[in-house]
Structure 1
Amino acid sequence: MQYLFLPLQFIGKAVSAALFGILLLIAFALTASMGSHEYMGFYRYDYLLIYALIIQICLLYLKLESWAEAKVIALFHVMAMVMEIFLTHPAIASWQYPQPAVFKILTVPLFAGFMYSAVGSFFARSIRLLQVSFEKLPSFGSMLLLAFFSYINFMSKFFVPDIRYILFAISVFIFWKTKLYFQLNEHKFKTPMLPVLLTLAFLIWIAENISTFYKIWLYPSQ
């Protein structure tokens, strides 16, 4: 009988790990009607920034998030802001934030970094909540290089050939033998790493489409 509850327990832990991102998506929907209007001197993006900060404070205060996880979130935020500033520059214009904001750096509202932080938060919290461990994980150096070149390619592809497919092939190669273990109560489960990564990429794609639907940012075609 206890095995019947394991899927529910897994879903519960996964939702808990994704809590920050889920709360952001809910806020995107609830604030959509604000548009570009000013409310008490601030705009939609500014209130989303305040909201994201309040969530982070609450998660830390309630010990739903550790300080180590908060550091991961901060790192994602800083790296995201650098990339966003570059990619939203008028000369590049990969996408744009169509609404005004008081709290922003150049073309990017400060809250934007929290969208990336939500991904970092999910990874960090999933590892803790599901007691994740790895088998045949690539070396830290190889993963660091892959992450570095992936990050650089986001910006360099406008000036030199895009190598995303090469990086994707390298990712498949180095993670091919990697196995992921996670634990629910005393039960331990094993799964290949690559399907997990593809599933996460699909979920991020869904979140991006929800965000653009509520006009958090817009692509040139929109």
Structure 2
Amino acid sequence: MPMPRLMGACRFAVEFLYFGFKNARACLFVSLFFAAVFLVPRAGLPGLARYDVLLVVALAIQAWMVWSGLETVDEVKAITLFHVVGFALEVFKTSSGIQSWSYPDAAYTKLLGVPLFAGFMYAAVGSYMIQAWRLFGLRVVHHPPYWMSAAIALLIYANFFTHHYIGDYRWYIAACALGLYARCTVIYTPVDVERRMPLLLAFVLIGFFIWLAENISTFFGVWRYPNQLGAWSMVHVGKWSSWSLLVIMTFTMIANLKHIKAQIQVPD
């Protein structure tokens, strides 16, 4: 939608509104899912526990988005991968030897102590990124070699597990990621003009909003950290860095999947 006559403050205002609208549209799955988190009573619905209801809602939202054409089958395949990766991490973090957090409520759809809906919280991050990539027509310039970005993503994921045994190397990995993506810029189009943003800034901002969502979720008792079992307290700000690293991992998975698909796609 070209807007050649708009300049200065008017153009900024219109682009800002479009930027917000497209981000809201990209957050559709996230918004609907967290609305269910807030609206479903702690006691659940008659005959169905809260965690079970949230799983049904998440599956229904996903099915509706595919049916309506808001998500493609390929996108659902990628989101399923995020679900599996996230659920595996949840199982480890809530295991008896670790217990970084817990899901205190009973449910029929718990597997290894983790409700199956939990993977959708990670899938929601992937869904947002995939939707935003398409809606904003994202392009990335000065992307590092794909094997290097994949190696950093694997190190980030591994550190979530290994720091319980051999120390937390989060900041060393973050420093490597900082150097790897320092020149990387994301180009996006709110309306009709391309804009630029340092990719690292996008990682930090998305990580911050996930940290806010985590505070809301723990306040409503969806899950609890050990220090929140007696009374709710704010999630430590240090978790912001963990979420930002998870965002880097998620972005890398999407970028590499798109790269692989482009490499194997047969030209018309």
Q: TM-score range by the shorter chain?
A: over 0.9
Unaligned runs of 5+ in 2: 1-5, 229-268
Give the TM-score taking structure 2 as reference length: 0.79
- Match in the other structure for 1:16: 25
Alignment counterpart, residue 204 of structure 1, candidates 202, 210, 232:
210
Residue 190 of structure 1, CA deviation: 1.1
**How far, CA to CA, are the matches of 1:152 and 1:191 in structure 2?**
29
Q: After superposition, where does 1:18-33 map in structure 2 within 5 Å?
A: 18-31=27-40, 33=41
Q: Where does structure 1 differ by over 3 angstroms across 4 or more consecutive aligned residues?
A: none
C-alpha RMSD over aligned residues:
1.2
Residue 54 of structure 1 aligns to a residue whose secondary structure is helix
Residue 114 of structure 1, CA deviation: 0.3
**Contact 2:45–2:53 (8 Å) recurs in 1:** no
Q: After superposition, where does 1:1-222 map in structure 2 within 5 Å?
A: 1=6, 3=11, 4-31=13-40, 33-35=41-43, 39-40=46-47, 42-222=48-228
Give the TM-score taking structure 1 as reference length: 0.95
**Contact 2:218–2:224 (8 Å) recurs in 1:** yes
**How far, CA to CA, are the matches of 1:191 and 1:82 in structure 2?**
32
> After superposition, what is the alpha-carbon deviation per residue over 1:117-161, rounded to whole angstroms, capped at 9, x for unaligned?
000001111100000001101111111111111111111111111
**How far, CA to CA, are the matches of 1:150 and 1:181 in structure 2?**
25
Number of residue pairs matched?
219
**Contact 1:25–1:210 (8 Å) recurs in 2:** no
Q: Percent identity?
A: 35
Q: Higher relative contact order by CA 8 Å / sep ≥ 6: 1 or 2?
A: 1
Unaligned runs of 5+ in 1: none
Residue 65 of structure 1, CA deviation: 1.1
**Contact 2:18–2:191 (8 Å) recurs in 1:** no
**How far, CA to CA, are the matches of 1:89 and 1:39 in structure 2?**
29
Change (3 A) 1:38 1:30: closer
**Contact 1:138–1:174 (8 Å) recurs in 2:** yes
Residue 38 of structure 1, CA deviation: 6.6
